[in-house]
A = this chain, B = another copy of it.
Amino acid sequence: MSDRILAAVMAGPRQPIDIREFDRPALPPGAALLRTARSEVCGTDVHLWHGRLSGVPYPIVPGHVSAGTLENVRGPVHGIDGSDLREGDRVVFFDVHRTCGRCRACAVHRTPTRCPHRRVYGITDSAADGLFGGWSQAIYLEPGVGIARLPDRVSVDDYIGGGCGLLTAVHIIERATLRPGDTVLVQGTGAVGLSTIALARLCGASTVIAIGAPAPRLALARRMGADLVFDLDASSSDQRLETVRGVTYGEGIDVVVEAAGSARAFEEGLMLARDGGRYVVAGHYTDAGPSTVNAHHQINRKHLDIRGCWGSEPGHFLRALTFLERYAGTVPWSAIGERTYSLNQLDEALADAEAMRITKALVDPWASA
C-alpha cells in the first residue's frame, strides 16, 4: 500500500460522494492500520446521506462495518480474545470504538448503547480526524478498538453479508429472551430482518414467519430459515393476521420482531403478538412518523411486553462471529451482499440501497470503475 490512501467522503447531507487522498496515519502505541477488503452501505448510510441523524460531524468517511488485513501494527496490540495481533492477520473489529464506562448510562443503568460519549466508526468522527470509516482503502484502528481474527472458515463475503445487521440480530434475539420452541415473526426482510430470521431458526424457534418485499428478498428469507413468508404488497394485514392465528391455535405469535422501520409495521406487530407475548422493536433507527396504538386492546389487556432494542455491544459482535464460524457454510449470509461497488460508484450504491433495488451494497475500495 502506498503512502497515499483513497477514501470516499460524504461532505454533507445530499452532497455527491467525493474521493479524497489521505496521508498514511502515524500510529501511536496500541494502534493499527487495516487494509480494507470490504465495507458496506447499510441503511444507516442512506439516513446519513439524507441528514436524518443529529450531531454528525460532516465531512465523514462512512462505512461502519468492514473487514480486512492488518497492514501495520504498532504493538503489542491484543485481540479481544487476548491473543497478539500481527501484520497480515485477517481481522474484523467492533464498530463502536468508545463508550465512556463512567456515565450513568454505562455504569448505573448498564445501557452502554445509550452512552452520550459513544463513538461509532463511519458515523461520529469527522474525516478531519482521520480514517474512521470503511469507505476507504485503509482504516485507522485506534488503541482499544475491539479487534477479532476472522475465523478461517468465514470468508470476508460471509462476514460483510451479515455485517451490522447480524450484530443487531444477536441483540434482538437476546432481548427477546427466546424460549425453546417459541414461534417468531419478523417484520422486514432487509439486512437486519434476514439475519434475525436466521438466528431465530438457529436459536430454537419453532415456526419462523417473515413479512417483507420485494420477491427476491422473500426468496432469500426462506433460504435464511423462514417457514412462511408474506409479501407485504400482495397481502393485507387482515389476511396476515388470519393466517398467523391459523397456525398458532388462534393465539398469535410468541415473539414478534419489528425490523421494518415503518409506522404501519409497528401497528401491525401489536396485533400479531399473542397475549403475554413479546415484541422487540428494532427497525426504527430513524423517525418513521407516528403510529396509532390502542393501549387497552394491544398492550394492557394483552399483558404484552414491548422491548425497544438499540445498537449493539461487544458481546453481540463476538457472538455473531461464533454463528458465522459454525453456520457460514449453510446459512447464505454472503447472499445478502448483493453487489459490490467501487469508491467511484457510491452515489449509485446509495441510490440503489434507498430504492431497495438491492438487499445490501458492498464497497471494495480497491476496485477500479
Which residues of A line the B interface, CB within 8 A? Answer: 80-82, 99, 101-102, 104-111, 113-114, 144, 146, 170, 173-174, 177-181, 199, 202-204, 206, 249-251, 258, 263, 266, 274-276, 281-297, 299-310, 313-315, 318-320, 322-323, 325-326
Copy tally for this chain in the complex stands at 4
Which of these, B104, B290, B301, B314, contacts A284 with CB under 8 Å? B301
Looking across the interface, which residue of chain B has its beta carbon closest to that of A300?
B284
Looking across the interface, which residue of chain B has its beta carbon closest to that of A280?
B300
A300 and B101 CA atoms in complex are apart in Å by: 22
Which of these, B110, B181, B276, B287, contacts A296 with CB under 8 Å? B287
Establish whether residues B266 and A295, one from each chain, have CB atoms under 8 Å apart when the complex forms: yes
A289 and B297 CA atoms in complex are apart in Å by: 10
A313 and B102 CA atoms in complex are apart in Å by: 11
Given A173-B180, A283-B300, 12 other A-B contacts at CB below 8 A? A80-B102, A99-B101, A108-B314, A108-B315, A170-B180, A180-B202, A199-B204, A202-B204, A285-B300, A290-B293, A291-B294, A306-B307
Which of these, B114, B202, B296, contacts A275 with CB under 8 Å? B114
In the bound complex, residues from chain B placing their C-beta under 8 Å from that of A109 are 274-276, 315
A142 and B213 CA atoms in complex are apart in Å by: 49
A303-B144 contact, Cβ under 8 Å, with A80-B104, A180-B174: no
A319 and B110 CA atoms in complex are apart in Å by: 14
A203 and B319 CA atoms in complex are apart in Å by: 14
In the bound complex, residues from chain B placing their C-beta under 8 Å from that of A307 are 304-306
Establish whether residues A284 and B291, one from each chain, have CB atoms under 8 Å apart when the complex forms: no
Which of these, B107, B290, B291, contacts A146 with CB under 8 Å? B107
Among A82, A180, A289, A299, which residue has the most Cβ atoms of chain B within 10 A? Answer: A180
